[in-house]
């Protein structure tokens, strides 16, 4: 090789060395940069690793700790030096959990699971820590597991709070969901936040149905009570305070139930309004009991009034002296009357007792009542002719307090006092015409109103009336209502006058003598037959009442054991001659004859007015007064 060739070769070698050196320097520079970058990354990683608030632990595949952050000492109390190189078993509260986690997390064949799991660890001071942990494997660039990373969070306080919340929720649910009443909470916007299950028991609707339907509670309130609800709803918005109302609802099955509704505003300590807490109680049974109690009180009040009225009338009866204790007589006339009494007593038929004054009509009325099914209640009596017209209505039907001047207290009438019993209307013919329609209503419908009241009173009363008047004549003359006469005259019963039952006079005389002699302390053992004969010959216009008075005077005047008659009784001849009639009857008969003769022509030529020589208006007035009507 020549020198030039050698020089060229050396020069080429030198050039190649320079190029390699450049490349080497460039590579070294790049490597330095990479090392510096790795240092920065490592620093960043270390800063981030230590900044994690949870405990971060990196282990190798043997579960030995190779790196921890500052959170480990904060949570567990161990320093880095105390845990580096140690197995993670050091952190576990029990070996069972350590082994279980080894099978689940450190098994290369296990599926990767990054979901957090809860487990108990133990601190350096042996205090147990309840944790929430996330663990995942660390892989190299080829995907091979080279270790594990675990993030451990101390949730002991959260767990304790959770348990407290669970306990509080359990208590709340136990109270709210098992309460017997229908409870709910509605927020300020009117949205239900809670409805207790008792809702279905009380309303028949499930809580979800209320949640899904706005204003459903108003819809199930009966229409008559919705005004109560609307007023309550409006007032609740205006002023926040406890309110209570009662209303009725219609259940899903159609049953009506009473609800007691209590509504209280929910306000926080910071005075924030959260809505209303409501309690609805089914008080249907209570309302039913209240109504039954009210009905019982009303019945007691009614019975009290009736007893007071009965007491009043019974005292009135006690103050009266009855003519007899029993009906005395064996005559056919009186026996027929008693037979009729037996016939009608058991029925509730209205009875009209007719007869002259003093024949004992009240005694017959008592006999009917005492043998009737109403005999356990007292007979109530009123004499329609003994009271002025302005008082008879109050006596019969009662009055309210303040109904008229002098009505200082409410008073039940005699019809109320006779509830379930019998009322005896003596001298019914004297009843004022304006009251006859009211009596007719009682006979027809069993109802009336007290004076000053619009409340209708229903009564169950049997009516027995009596009169000594000729009611048929009063009906013809317009003094007595025809329809009332028909209602009263269902079962007429005529008590014979004493002159038609003279064979009973000896029995009656013996009864009266015994009674008055005992009363006056006398011993009268003989009643002369001449006296009996004399008494039988008398016409007795006053009937038994007159006989009673005559015997009482006789007993007073008797000084020994033999009855002495003090009265000088008129002879039978002094009675009115037979065949005569009253002037009114004669006038009526003559007018009727004239009318019949002219075929009831009242006015004009050949009329009754012309024959009688009176004005036609006068004739019509006389006909009305005498009860003359064209047949």
Q: Look at strands 380-383 and 351-354 and give their pairing.
A: unpaired
Query: What pLDDT is recorded for position 572?
Result: 46
Query: What pLDDT is recorded for position 321?
Result: 39
> In the structure encoding, which two tokens stand for residue 601, read together?
């022509």
Residues 476 and 334 in one domain: yes
If you average pLDDT over residues 475-484, what whole number do you get? 90
Q: pLDDT per residue over 385-412, tens digit each?
A: 887 777 888 888 888 887 777 777 778 8
Residues 381 and 435 in one domain: yes
In a domain? residue 6? no
Residues 308 and 447 in one domain: yes
606: left (phi over 0), alpha (psi -120 to 50) or beta: left
If you average pLDDT over residues 7-30, what whole number do you get? 61
Residues 442 and 540 in one domain: no
In a domain? residue 355? no
Instruction: Kindly tell me if the per-residue pLDDT of 367 is higher than 50.
Output: yes
Q: 1 or 555, which is more confident? A: 555
Whole-angstrom distance, CA of residue 71 vs CA of residue 168: 33
Instruction: Kindly tell me if the per-residue pLDDT of 63 is higher than 90.
Output: no
Point out the least confidently predicted range of 28-32, 63-67, 122-126.
28-32
If you average pLDDT over residues 594-618, what whole number do you get? 83
If you average pLDDT over residues 488-514, what whole number do you get? 91
Whole-angstrom distance, CA of residue 385 vs CA of residue 392: 9
Q: 483 or 139, which is more confident? A: 483
Residues 509 and 419 in one domain: no
Residues 570 and 587 in one domain: no
In a domain? residue 424? yes
**Quick count: other Cβ atoms within 10 Å of Cβ 567?**
15
Residues 320 and 406 in one domain: yes
What's 224's DSSP letter? G
Confidence of residue 45 (pLDDT cuts 50, 70, 90): low
Query: What pLDDT is recorded for position 8?
Result: 59
Read out DSSP for 7-44? HHHHHHHHHHHHHHHHHHHHHHHHHHHHHHHHHHHHHH
Find the helix packing angle between 529-537 and 505-520, rounded to 10°: 120
Q: Look at strands 462-467 and 273-282 and give their pairing.
A: unpaired
Torsion of CA 125, 127, 131, 137, to 10 degrees: 40
Tracing tokens 């926040």 back to the chain, one arrives at 240
Query: What pLDDT is recorded for position 324?
Result: 35
Residues contacting residue 71 through CB under 8 Å, at least 6 positions apart: 52, 53, 54, 55, 56, 152
In a domain? residue 274? yes
Q: How far is CA 589 from CA 4, 579, 584, 593, 604, in A?
A: 198, 15, 9, 6, 22
If you average pLDDT over residues 128-147, what whole number do you get? 83
Residue 399: what are its φ and ψ, rounded to 5°?
-150, 160
- Give the residue among 109, 58, 51 at the shortest CA–CA distance from 88: 58
The alpha-carbon radius of gyration of the chain (Å, integer) is: 59
Residues 557 and 599 in one domain: no
Tracing tokens 């070769």 back to the chain, one arrives at 9
Task: Please give the tally of structural domains in the chain.
Answer: 5
Residues 317 and 415 in one domain: yes
Last residue of a domain, one of 135, 153, 171: 153
Whole-angstrom distance, CA of residue 302 vs CA of residue 272: 56
Residues 607 and 565 in one domain: no
Domain enclosing residue 216, as ranges: 179-282
Helix, strand or coil for residue 236? helix
If you average pLDDT over residues 492-502, what whole number do you get? 91
If you average pLDDT over residues 469-493, what whole number do you get? 90
Burial of 324 (0-12, 13-18, 19+ CB in 10 A): middle
Residues 335 and 475 in one domain: yes
Q: What is the CATH number of the domain that holds 539?
A: 1.10.8.60
Residues contacting residue 621 through CB under 8 Å, at least 6 positions apart: none
Confidence of residue 25 (pLDDT cuts 50, 70, 90): low
In a domain? residue 163? no
Residues 258 and 326 in one domain: no
If you average pLDDT over residues 61-83, what whole number do you get? 86
Give CB contacts under 8 A, 24+ apart, made by 604-608: none
Give percent of the chain above pLDDT 70.
83
In a domain? residue 29? no
Q: Where are the beta strands (DSSP E) in 517-592?
A: none
Q: Look at strands 55-59 and 182-186 and give their pairing.
A: unpaired
Q: pLDDT per residue over 522-550, tens digit each?
A: 898 888 988 888 888 888 988 998 899 99
H-run or E-run covering 262: strand 256-267
**Quick count: other Cβ atoms within 10 Å of Cβ 533?**
11
Asked whether the beta carbons of 428 and 488 are under 8 A apart, the reply is: yes
Q: pLDDT per residue over 311-347, tens digit each?
A: 555 544 444 333 334 688 888 888 888 889 988 998 8
> In the structure encoding, which two tokens stand for residue 486, read together?
């028909």
Q: 364 or 37, which is more confident? A: 364
> In the structure encoding, which two tokens stand for residue 441, read together?
């209503």
Q: 11 or 625, which is more confident? A: 625
Query: What pLDDT is recorded for position 118?
Result: 82
In a domain? residue 263? yes
Read out DSSP for 113-175? --S-EEEEEE-TTS-EEEEEEEEEEEE-TTS-EEEEEEEEEE-HHHHHHHHHHHHHHHHHHHH
Whole-angstrom distance, CA of residue 512 vs CA of residue 498: 15
Point out the least confidently predicted range of 97-101, 168-172, 476-480.
168-172
Last residue of a domain, one of 574, 593, 612: 574
Overall pTM > 0.85: no
Residues contacting residue 507 through CB under 8 Å, at least 6 positions apart: 328, 329, 330
Mean residue pLDDT of the chain comes to 82
In a domain? residue 324? yes
Q: How far is CA 381 from CA 164, 272, 309, 573, 581, in A?
A: 82, 75, 12, 38, 35
SS (H, E, C) 319-362: HCCCCCCCCCCCCHHHHHHHHHHHHHHCCCCCEEEECCCCCCHH
Query: What pLDDT is recorded for position 575?
Result: 47
Q: What is the CATH number of the domain that holds 58?
A: 3.30.450.20
Q: 475 or 159, which is more confident? A: 475
- Give the residue among 238, 239, 236 at the shortest CA–CA distance from 261: 236
Instruction: Kindly tell me if the per-residue pLDDT of 31 is higher than 70.
Output: no
Instruction: Kindly tell me if the per-residue pLDDT of 79 is higher than 50.
Output: yes
The C-alpha angle with vertex 240 and arms to 236 and 243, in degrees rounded to 5, equals: 60
Asked whether the beta carbons of 114 and 136 are under 8 A apart, the reply is: yes
Burial of 299 (0-12, 13-18, 19+ CB in 10 A): exposed
H-run or E-run covering 67: strand 65-68
Whole-angstrom distance, CA of residue 65 vs CA of residue 70: 14
**Quick count: other Cβ atoms within 10 Å of Cβ 106?**
17
Query: What pLDDT is recorded for position 596?
Result: 83
Give CB contacts under 8 A, 24+ apart, made by 108-117: 108/145, 112/136, 112/137
């Amino acid at each position: 090789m020549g020198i030039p060739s050698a020089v060229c070769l050396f020069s080429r070698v030198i050039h190649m060395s320079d190029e390699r050196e450049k490349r080497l320097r460039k590579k070294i520079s790049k490597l330095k940069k990479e090392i510096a970058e790795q240092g920065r990354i490592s620093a960043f990683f270390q800063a981030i690793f230590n900044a994690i608030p949870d405990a971060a632990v990196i282990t190798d595949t043997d579960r030995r700790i190779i790196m921890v952050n500052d959170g480990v000492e904060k949570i567990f109390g161990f320093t880095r030096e105390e845990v580096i190189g140690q197995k993670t078993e050091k952190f576990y509260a029990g070996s069972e959990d350590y082994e279980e986690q080894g099978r689940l997390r450190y098994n290369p064949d296990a599926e990767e699971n990054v979901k957090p799991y809860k487990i108990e660890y133990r601190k350096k001071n042996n205090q147990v820590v309840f944790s929430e942990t996330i663990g995942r494997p660390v892989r190299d660039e080829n995907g091979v597991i080279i270790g594990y990373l675990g993030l451990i969070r101390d949730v002991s306080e959260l767990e304790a709070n959770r348990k407290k919340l669970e306990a509080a929720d359990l208590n709340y649910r136990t109270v709210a969901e098992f309460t017997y009443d229908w409870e709910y909470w509605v927020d300020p916007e009117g949205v239900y936040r809670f409805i207790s299950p008792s809702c279905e028991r009380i309303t028949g609707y499930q809580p979800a149905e209320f949640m899904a339907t706005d204003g459903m509670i108003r819809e199930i309130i009966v229409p008559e009570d919705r005004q109560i609800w609307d007023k309550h709803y409006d007032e609740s918005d205006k002023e926040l305070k406890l309110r209570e109302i009662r209303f009725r609802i219609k259940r899903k099955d159609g049953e009506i139930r009473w609800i007691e509704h209590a509504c209280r505003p929910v306000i926080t300590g910071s005075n924030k309004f959260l809505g209303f807490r409501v309690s609805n109680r089914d008080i249907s049974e209570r309302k039913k009991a209240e109504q039954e109690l009210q009905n019982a009180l009303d019945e007691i009040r009614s019975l009290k009034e009736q007893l007071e009225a009965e007491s009043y009338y019974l005292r009135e009866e006690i103050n009266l002296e009855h003519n007899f204790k029993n009906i005395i007589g064996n005559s056919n006339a009186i026996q027929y009357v008693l037979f009729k009494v037996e016939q009608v007593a058991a029925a509730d038929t209205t009875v009209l007792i007719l007869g002259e004054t003093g024949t004992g009509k009240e005694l017959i009325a008592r006999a009917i009542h005492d043998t009737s099914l109403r005999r356990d209640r007292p007979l109530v009596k009123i004499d329609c002719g003994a009271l002025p017209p302005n008082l008879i209505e109050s006596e019969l039907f009662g009055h309210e307090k303040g109904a008229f001047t002098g009505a200082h207290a409410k008073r039940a009438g005699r019809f109320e006092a006779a509830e379930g019993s019998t009322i005896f209307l003596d001298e019914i013919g004297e009843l004022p015409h304006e009251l006859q329609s009211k009596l007719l209503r009682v006979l027809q419908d069993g109802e009336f109103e007290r004076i000053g009241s619009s409340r209708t009173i229903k009564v169950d009363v049997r009516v027995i009336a009596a009169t000594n008047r000729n009611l048929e004549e009063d009906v013809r003359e317009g003094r007595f209502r025809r329809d009332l006469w028909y209602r009263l005259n269902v079962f007429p019963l005529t008590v014979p006058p004493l002159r038609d039952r003279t064979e009973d006079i000896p029995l009656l005389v013996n009864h009266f003598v015994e009674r008055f002699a005992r009363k006056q302390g006398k011993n009268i053992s003989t009643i002369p037959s001449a006296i009996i004969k004399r008494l039988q010959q008398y016409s007795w216009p006053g009937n038994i009442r007159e006989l009673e008075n005559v015997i009482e005077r006789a007993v007073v005047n008797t000084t020994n054991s033999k009855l002495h008659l003090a009265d000088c009784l008129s002879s039978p001849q002094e009675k009115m001659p037979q065949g005569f009639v009253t002037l009114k009857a004669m006038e009526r008969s003559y007018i009727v004859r004239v009318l019949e003769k002219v075929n009831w022509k009242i006015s004009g030529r050949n009329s009754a007015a012309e024959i009688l020589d009176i004005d036609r208006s006068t004739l019509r007035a006389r006909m009305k007064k005498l009860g003359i009507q064209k047949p």
